[in-house]
């Protein structure tokens, strides 16, 4: 939730500011932008530290040396080139699913349907790719990516429409739609579009190899990461500097003020949902085209839920989503190393992610109350 | 607990200072509230009255200075501490649970409530307590059925019941009719004269000070300018001290030759539901012409709020039609811009502003998507900032910076911000609800002048107000709203205060009976 400091305004001098250094003009939102940004950065980092300490206790109770585990976490996430590549690959879908929560949050909606949108995006990418088989590689890839994006957008757009015209709580509906999406996905890949040559697990028809998304030259990281980062930057600029972003900030800040201003509330809600859902759908399409080459259960590994965590840790700011997703991607990527070295369950990193989430939510209670920041 | 004979505490503050960031809200304030007297605190918005009182009540901690209660220096760190010392405060807004009875609301406020309440004994004790009070309420009545005046009395009774002998009343009469206000205040004065209570009255109204207060302290800019006995001073002197050099002007409102014909805004048979699903506005029709001020007078809660919400786009009409410039008005942004419709509703911070955004953003609420601020879908920050700075200067909005959050401003400055935004050059229909609620006389006069100026420019003005003085000062025509209906219409020349008051209260009396 957008939280900014009340005390931050206090440190503004009464005299006029000098003609605008670029950084100060960043925000239309509360007082000095840098103070607000500094505050949310401090809160997020503080929450992270507290979560790590709690995780250390958890690990120690399990009979392991916390420091050694921290070391392995670092090594598994960012210690080597190989682990960095793993972290980046993990981060790529998370960046996009985080937008599925972060963008609707700007208009005051708490959408947690990233998982469903991602799954459907992947599914639709397979269908589109199959339908355009025989087309030149880049056209097929484009069609598949667009198809995935549209599927995700429609899915979350429906959440916005239900909210606006039927008053359905968007958090509940997006959560339940996740289950429907996953059920639909499982039904299709285990029957109608199943590739029966794959016997190990239910897998859809393969995407024509020509449509695959390759790696960034010199890295074993696919181009999806670049697409995600680019989209974050574009959305950051749109939300900050355009009239559309301004309208969303008004609506997200006070619906009654938006009514007085005559803003098209329904349209804004749905546009925000379409953008968020589109991002998550795109994530699914990229995973299919760049990593799996088909739609299978490997797509349902919780990227959508991790995205919620990332969006909150980034305080719904698309730009902050990028580093946070890299961090969380790193933590996920180090799960394997923890498993091998300490014989801990793979889910251990999920405990850490859960702790981080709780600490971040709790930390917002301190917004505007950090004394020394107001000095 | 209900020991009335114990003398009220004597509260004295010495050199109290409080600073919020760069704003010195309170500066070396020293004042003594003598026991058993009614002491008025008079001052403009932002003069430091509430800061002073909140320091005494433990909501703020003063940066320096001291507070003495009965001669003993006290470091009051929390509201709990001030309550324990017998200091209490009655707020502008009610803090009652409306579904509960009077008795339940009184018992609810106690610090310690037993797990099982013996209601019979409580009722007996309450009846006994009420007998010692100058005003009584039936303990069995539901708070929802009480009038605003009775609720205000219940708030005061609650403080007395809880054993508070030093009471701060924060603009207690802002929600009351003149009669109710007089009654409540004279009873407070009687309590004080019996030596059972010390009353601090925060107010803007000179009349109340002269009539009910024994001592008066004038504040301006965080400083205490003077303390005097009310009897030894005069309204003129108080006004001079309170406003300093600023002159109090009233809106020029000479008799105007003929109002241009043709309604700019017409409301036909409008009906609207209230929050509880009942019809709050019933078959309401009226028309506002360009260049006139049509006032809708009425006691609060007679459908005005819902009517304004319908006009502002915050509530859907159940039936009827709204026409602006002869077209059906659908309250979209493009229509608002085309027909020049601007609105200032009640409680602007909650209804017209976005708390989390800056003063600049709130000023831009109507303009950000049009040139020169907008350029092909982009908001031009430099232009916006210059434009906002100009408005801030022109309307003398006191803010530390255009980028300060709007909710860091005082109430009067929020009002000014919204007014600055709404009184734009393309204004053709202005809808106002209690535009001067809670503002001091100088700010109110300034806003009245602005409204009159807009009217003289040919703007159609719909003024919905509970303040009869304001209505009589500004309006060209007056309609009275009561029980959701328009019950009376009169031109300004023929308007008579008592006649209007009779129409305003007619239906509510009938309902209460």
Instruction: Dig out the tokens for B378 from the structure.
Output: 């982009």
Cβ–Cβ gap A242/B407 under 8 Å: no
- Pick from A34-43, A138-147, B27-36, B217-226: least confident: A34-43
Q: What is the pLDDT of residue B255?
A: 38
Q: Which of A325-329, B89-93, B355-359 has the lowest mean pLDDT?
A: B89-93
Helix (H) or strand (E) holding A125: helix A114-131
- For residue B373, pLDDT over 80 is answered with yes
Helix (H), strand (E) at residue A128: helix A114-131
- Whether residue A327 contacts residue A321, with contact meaning beta carbons closer than 8 Å, is answered with no
| B45: pLDDT strictly greater than 80 | no
Nearest to B119 by CA among B104, B100, B98: B104
Ramachandran region, residue B464 (left: φ > 0; alpha: ψ -120 to 50; beta: rest) = beta
In chain B, positions 353-372, which contact chain A (CB-CB < 8 Å)? Answer: 353-358, 360-361, 364-366, 368-369
Decide which of A133 and B359 is more confident.
B359
Q: Tell me which chain A residues have a C-beta less than 8 angstroms from the C-beta of B337.
A: 262
Inter-chain touch B20–A10, beta carbons under 8 Å: yes
Is A248 a residue whose pLDDT tops 70? yes
Joined tokens for residue A44:
């997020």
Nearest to B487 by CA among B289, B278, B283, B293: B283
**Which of B24, B331, B337, B354 should we substitute to test contact with A (largest number of A Cβ atoms within 10 Å)?**
B354
Q: Torsions phi, psi of A170, nearest 5? A: -70, -30
Contacts of A18 in chain B (CB under 8 A): none
Closest CA to B361 of A2, A370, A170, A98: A2
Sheet holding B477-482, edge to edge: B341-344, B429-433, B460-465, B293-297, B477-482, B485-491
Neighbours of A206 (CB within 10 A): 17
* Range in A67-71, A160-164, B277-281, B307-311 with the lowest mean pLDDT: B277-281
B217, β-bridge pairs: B41, B227
Q: What is the mean pLDDT of chain A?
A: 85
Higher pLDDT, B19 or A274: A274
Residue of B nearest to A11 (CA): B21
Q: Which residue of A has its CA nearest to B335?
A: A262
What is the arithmetic mean of pLDDT over A273-298?
Answer: 92
Name the B residues in 225-254 with CB < 8 Å from any A CB. Answer: none
CA B314 vs CA A125, A306, B38, B309, B345: distances in Å: 42, 37, 42, 5, 10
Decide: B42 and B70 in contact? Cβ < 8 Å: no
Residue B496 has what pLDDT?
A: 75
Determine the residue among B24, B353, B357 to mutate to test chain A binding: the one whose Cβ has the most chain A Cβ atoms within 10 Å: B357
Order of strands, sheet of B223-229, starting from the edge strand that comes earlier in the sequence: B87-90, B166-170, B198-203, B38-43, B215-220, B223-229
Nearest CA in chain A to B366: A261
Is B222 strand, coil or helix? coil
* Interfacial residues of A (vs B; Cβ cutoff 8 Å): 2, 4, 6-14, 16-17, 20, 24-25, 27-33, 241-247, 249-250, 253-254, 256-257, 259-264, 374
Put simply, the answer to whether B351 touches A257 (Cβ < 8 Å) is yes
**HEC profile for B455-508?**
HHCCCEEEEEECCHHHHHHHCCEEEEEECCEEEEEEECCCCCHHHHHHHHHHHH
Give B187 to chain A, closest Cα distance, Å: 40
pLDDT digits (tens, 9 = 90+) for A291-323: 888 888 889 988 999 999 899 888 899 999 999
- Chain B contact set for A24 (CB, 8 A): 403
Q: How confident is the model at residue A220 (pLDDT cuts 50, 70, 90)?
A: confident
Residue % of chain A over a pLDDT of 90: 47
CATH code of the region A33-374:
1.10.3470
A239 vs B182, which has greater pLDDT?
A239
Which residue's entry shows tokens 């649970």?
A: B97
SS3 content of chain B, % helix, strand, coil (to 5): 35, 25, 40
Residue B174 has a pLDDT of 63
Residue of A nearest to B418 (CA): A257
pLDDT band at B425 (very low <50, low <70, confident <90, very high): confident
Average pLDDT over chain B, rounded to whole? Answer: 82
Sequence length of chain B is 513
Using alpha carbons, list the distances in angstroms from residue B20 to B48, B65, B141. Answer: 12, 16, 43
How do residues B204-258 score in pLDDT, each as one tens digit? Answer: 777 788 888 999 998 887 888 888 888 888 877 777 777 654 433 344 343 343 4
pLDDT at position B312: 92
Distance from CA of A312 to the nearest CA of B (A): 18
Which residue of chain A is at minimal alpha-carbon distance from B393?
A16
Size of interface A-B (CB pairs under 8 A): 140
> For chain A, how many helices (H) and strands (E)?
15, 0
Residue B202 burial (10 A CB sphere; 0-12, 13-18, 19+): buried
Q: CA A155 to CA A169: how far, in whole Å?
A: 15
Work out the minimum CA distance from B333 to partner chain A, whole angstroms.
Answer: 4
Cross-chain Cβ contact B404/A12 below 8 Å: yes
Instruction: With CB atoms and an 8 Å threshold, state whether B313 touches A260.
Output: yes
* Nearest CB partner across the interface for B401, out of A6, A31, A262: A31
- Residues A84, A91: Cα–Cα separation, whole Å: 10
Query: What's the rounded Cα separation, in Å, for the pair B83 and B92?
Result: 18
Residues 6 or more apart in contact with residue B387 via CB below 8 angstroms: B363, B364, B367, B372, B373
User: Measuring CA to CA, which residue among B506, B312, B270, B280 is closest to residue B418?
Assistant: B312
Does the beta-carbon distance from B382 to A261 stay under 8 Å? no
C-alpha span between A131 and A144 (Å, rounded): 9
Please write down the HEC assignment for all residues of A261-287. CCCCHHHHHHHHHHHHHHHHHHHHHHH
CA closest to B406 among chain A residues: A30
A30 to B358: CB separation less than 8 angstroms, yes or no: yes
pLDDT tens for A143-201 read 999 999 999 999 999 999 999 999 899 999 999 999 999 999 999 988 888 888 877 78
pLDDT of res. B76: 84
pLDDT tens-digit map of B433-472: 888 876 767 778 888 888 999 899 889 999 998 777 788 8
Please answer yes or no on whether B356 and A14 come within 8 Å at the CB atom.
no
How far apart (Å, rounded) are the C-alpha atoms in residues B70 and A109?
53
Judged against a pLDDT cut of 90, whether residue B513 lies above it is answered with no
CA dist B434 to B342, B398, B456, B472, Å? 15, 21, 20, 13
- List chain B residues with CB under 8 Å of A27: 403
Q: How far is A49 from chain B (nearest CA, A)?
A: 28
d(CA A211, CA A130): 10
Of residues B149 and B476, more confidence is placed in: B476
Q: Which residue of B has its CA nearest to A33?
A: B403
- Average pLDDT (B155-173) is 85
Q: Which residue has the tokens 């009719």?
A: B177
Q: What percent of chain A has pLDDT over 70?
A: 89
- State the smallest CA–CA distance between residue B34 and chain A in angstroms: 35
Q: Do A242 and B379 touch (CB under 8 A)?
A: yes
The whole-angstrom separation of Cα A170 and Cα A156 is 9
Q: Give the bridge partners for B32, in sequence order.
A: B12
Interface-testing mutation among B401, B419, B429, with chain A (most A C-beta atoms within 10 A): B401
A12/B401 Cβ within 8 A: yes
pLDDT tens digit string along A81-121? 888 888 899 899 999 999 999 999 999 999 999 999 999 99
Q: DSSP 3-state assignment of B11?
A: strand
Q: ipTM, 2 decimals?
A: 0.76
B28 CA to chain A: closest CA distance, Å? 21
Q: B351 contacts in A (CB within 8 Å)? A: 256-257, 260
Q: What is the pLDDT of residue B47?
A: 78
Q: Answer whether B213's CB lies under 8 Å from B201's CB.
A: yes
Q: Does the N-terminal peptide bond of residue B357 adopt cis geometry, omega within 30 degrees of 0? A: no
Residues B234/B238/B239/B244 CA torsion (nearest 10 deg): 140
Chain A residues whose CB is inside 8 A of the B356 CB are 2, 4, 29-30, 253
Residue whose C-alpha is closest to residue B38's, from B219, B158, B196: B196
CB-based contact A250 B365, cutoff 8 Å = yes
State the pLDDT confidence band at B46, using cuts at 50, 70 and 90: low
More confident residue, A365 or B276: A365
Angstroms from B370 CA to nearest CA on chain A:
9
For position A12, what pLDDT does the model report?
36
Q: What is the helix (H) or strand (E) element at residue B25, kind and residue range?
A: strand B23-33
Q: How far apart are CA A363 and CA A372, in angstroms?
A: 16
Q: Is B424 on the interface with A (CB under 8 A)?
A: no
Predicted local distance difference test score (pLDDT) of residue B438? 65
Cβ distance B405 to A30 less than 8 Å, yes or no, reads yes
Do residues A117 and A152 make contact, with C-beta atoms less than 8 angstroms apart?
yes
User: Which candidate, A57, A36, A84, places its Cα nearest to that of A373?
Assistant: A36
User: Cα–Cα distance between A49 and A65 in angstroms, integer?
Assistant: 17
Q: Counting runs of H as helices and runs of E as strands, what totals does chain B give?
A: 17, 22
- The tokens 């419709």 sit on which residue? B341
Q: Is B64 in contact with B29 (CB distance < 8 Å)?
A: no
Structure tokens given for B17: 């200072």
**How far from A91 is each of A40, A330, A332, B95, CA to CA, in Å?**
22, 7, 9, 50
Q: What is the pLDDT of residue B19?
A: 83
What integer pLDDT is reported at residue B3 of this predicted model? 46
**What are residue B374's DSSP bridge partners?**
B379
Contact list, A8 vs chain B (CB under 8 Å): 405
- The pLDDT of residue B253 is 41
- Scanning the structure block, which residue is given the tokens 């800019």? B221
pLDDT for A94 equals 95
Identify the structural domains of chain B with CATH numbers, from first to last.
11-243 (3.40.50.300), 251-340+426-513 (3.40.50.300), 352-425 (no CATH)
Q: Give the span between the Cα atoms of A189 and A205, in whole angstroms.
A: 8
The domain spans of chain A are: 33-374
Helix-helix angle B441-456:B411-422, to 10 degrees: 10
pLDDT of residue A109: 94
Chain A within 8 Å of B374 (Cβ-Cβ)? yes
* Phi, psi angles (nearest 5°) of residue A7: -75, -15
Chain A residue with minimum CA distance to B404: A31
Q: Tokens at residue B292, please?
A: 């006139």
As a whole number, mean pLDDT of residues A250-267 equals 92
Residues with Cβ within 8 Å of residue B60, at least 6 apart in sequence: B18, B51, B54
State yes or no: pLDDT of B127 exceeds 50: yes
How far does CA A75 lie from the centroid of its chain?
24
Q: Does residue B314 sit at the A interface (CB-CB below 8 Å)?
A: yes
Name the pLDDT band for A33 (thresholds 50, 70, 90).
Answer: low
For residues B442 and B259, is the Cβ–Cβ distance under 8 A? Answer: no
């Amino acid at each position: 939730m957008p939280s900014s400091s009340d005390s931050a305004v206090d440190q503004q001098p009464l005299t006029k500011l000098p003609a605008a250094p670029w950084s100060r003009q960043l925000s239309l939102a509360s007082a000095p932008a840098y103070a607000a940004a500094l505050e949310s950065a401090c809160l997020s980092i503080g929450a992270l530290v507290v979560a790590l300490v709690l995780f250390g206790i958890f690990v120690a109770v399990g009979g392991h040396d916390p420091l050694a585990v921290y070391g392995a976490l670092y090594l598994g996430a960012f210690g080597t080139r190989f682990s960095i590549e793993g972290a980046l690959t993990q981060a790529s879908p998370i960046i996009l699913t985080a937008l599925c929560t972060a963008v609707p949050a700007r208009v005051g909606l708490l959408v947690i349907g990233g998982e469903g949108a991602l799954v459907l995006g992947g599914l639709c990418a397979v269908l589109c790719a199959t339908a355009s088989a025989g087309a030149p590689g880049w056209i097929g890839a484009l069609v598949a990516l667009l198809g995935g994006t549209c599927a995700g957008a429609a899915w979350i757009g429906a959440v916005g429409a239900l909210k606006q015209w039927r008053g359905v709580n968007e958090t509940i509906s997006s959560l339940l739609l996740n289950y429907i999406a996953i059920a639909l996905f499982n039904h299709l890949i285990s029957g109608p579009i199943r590739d029966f040559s794959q016997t190990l697990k239910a897998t859809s028809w393969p995407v024509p190899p020509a449509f695959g998304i390759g790696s960034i030259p010199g890295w074993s990281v696919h181009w999806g990461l670049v697409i995600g980062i680019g989209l974050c930057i574009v959305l950051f600029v749109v939300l900050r500097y355009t009239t559309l972003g301004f309208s969303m900030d008004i609506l997200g800040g006070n619906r009654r003020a938006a009514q007085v201003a005559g803003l098209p509330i329904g349209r804004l809600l749905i546009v925000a949902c379409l953008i968020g859902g589109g991002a998550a759908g795109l994530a699914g399409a990229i995973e299919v085209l760049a990593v799996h080459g088909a739609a299978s259960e490997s797509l349902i590994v919780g990227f959508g839920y991790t995205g919620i965590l990332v969006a909150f840790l980034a305080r719904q700011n698309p730009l902050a989503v990028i580093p946070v997703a890299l961090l969380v991607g790193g933590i996920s990527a180090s799960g394997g190393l923890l498993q091998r070295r300490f014989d801990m369950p793979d889910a251990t990193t999920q405990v850490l992610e859960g702790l981080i989430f709780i600490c971040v939510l709790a930390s917002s209670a301190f917004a505007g109350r950090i004394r020394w920041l107001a000095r | 607990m209900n020991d009335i004979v114990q003398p009220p505490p004597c509260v004295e503050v010495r050199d109290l200072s409080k600073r919020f960031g760069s704003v010195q809200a309170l500066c070396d304030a020293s004042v003594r509230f003598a026991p058993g007297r009614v002491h008025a605190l008079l001052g403009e918005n932002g003069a430091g009255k509430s800061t002073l009182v909140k320091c005494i009540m433990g909501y703020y901690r003063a940066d320096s200075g001291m507070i003495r209660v009965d001669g003993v220096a006290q470091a009051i760190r929390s509201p709990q501490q001030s309550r324990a010392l017998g200091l209490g405060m009655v707020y502008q807004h009610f803090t009652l649970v409306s579904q509960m009875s009077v008795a339940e609301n009184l018992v609810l406020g106690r610090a310690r409530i037993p797990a099982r309440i013996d209601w019979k004994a409580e009722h007996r004790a309450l009846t006994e307590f009420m007998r010692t009070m100058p005003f009584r309420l039936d303990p069995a009545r539901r708070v929802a059925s009480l009038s605003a005046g009775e609720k205000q009395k219940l708030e005061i009774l609650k403080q007395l019941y809880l054993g508070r002998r030093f009471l701060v009343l924060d603009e207690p009469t802002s929600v009351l009719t003149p009669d109710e206000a007089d009654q409540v205040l004279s009873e407070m004065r009687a309590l004080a004269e019996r030596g059972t209570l010390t009353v601090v009255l925060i107010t803007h109204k000179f009349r109340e000070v002269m009539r009910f207060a024994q001592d008066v302290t004038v504040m301006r800019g965080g400083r205490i300018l003077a303390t005097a006995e009310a009897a030894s001073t005069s309204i003129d002197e108080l006004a001079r001290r309170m406003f300093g050099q600023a002159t109090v002007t009233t809106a020029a409102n000479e008799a105007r030759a003929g109002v241009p014909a043709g309604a700019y805004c017409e409301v036909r048979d409008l009906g609207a539901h209230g929050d509880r699903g009942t019809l709050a506005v019933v078959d309401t029709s009226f028309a506002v012409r360009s260049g006139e001020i049509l006032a809708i007078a009425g006691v609060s809660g007679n459908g005005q709020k819902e009517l304004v919400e319908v006009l502002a786009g915050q509530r859907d009409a159940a039936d009827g039609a709204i026409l602006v410039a002869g077209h059906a008005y659908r309250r979209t942004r493009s229509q608002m811009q085309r027909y020049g419709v601007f609105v200032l509703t009640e409680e602007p911070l909650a209804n017209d502003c976005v708390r989390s955004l800056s003063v600049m953003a709130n000023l831009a609420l109507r303009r950000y998507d049009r040139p020169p601020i907008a350029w092909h879908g982009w908001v031009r920050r430099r232009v916006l900032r210059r434009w906002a700075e100009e408005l801030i200067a022109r309307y003398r909005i006191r803010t530390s910076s255009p980028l300060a959050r709007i909710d860091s401003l005082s109430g009067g400055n929020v009002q000014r911000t919204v007014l600055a935004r709404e009184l734009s050059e393309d204004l053709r229909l202005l809808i106002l609800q209690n535009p001067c609620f809670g503002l001091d006389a100088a700010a109110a006069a300034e806003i009245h002048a602005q409204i009159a100026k807009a009217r003289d420019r040919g703007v159609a003005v719909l003024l919905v107000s509970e303040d009869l003085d304001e209505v009589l000062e500004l309006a060209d025509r007056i309609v009275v709203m009561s029980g959701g209906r328009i019950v009376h219409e009169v031109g300004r020349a023929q308007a008579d205060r008592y006649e209007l008051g009779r129409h305003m209260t007619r239906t509510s009396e009938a309902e209460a009976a």
